Amino acid sequence: MGIGGCIVLFALGAIMAFATDWHVNGVNLHLVGWILMAAGLLGLITYVNVFRRRRLVRSVESDEPVEERRYYE
């Protein structure tokens, strides 16, 4: 799930939690909205942390000098 999916989850949760007045038997839509918002936020935080680590690893690897060896017979 990328950034777009996380934002969609968060937005859908916010709509369900704050902008609806529907009533479904056995389901609390406001609580479902809060859960979707939390899942979207958690996914976004996880995605950003993973992306930052990948970026740091690439920059560390690219800063190392490259040694070239040639063998002649």
Instruction: Confirm whether pTM is higher than 0.85.
Output: no
Q: What is the pLDDT of residue 65?
A: 65
Question: Cα–Cα distance between 38 and 5 in angstroms, integer?
Answer: 13
Q: What is the pLDDT of residue 2?
A: 84
CB atoms within 10 A of CB 15: 14
Give the residue-averaged pLDDT of 39-50: 92
More confident: 1 or 23:
23
Give the residue-averaged pLDDT of 33-62: 81
Amino acid code (one letter) for 30: H
Q: What is the pLDDT of residue 61?
A: 55
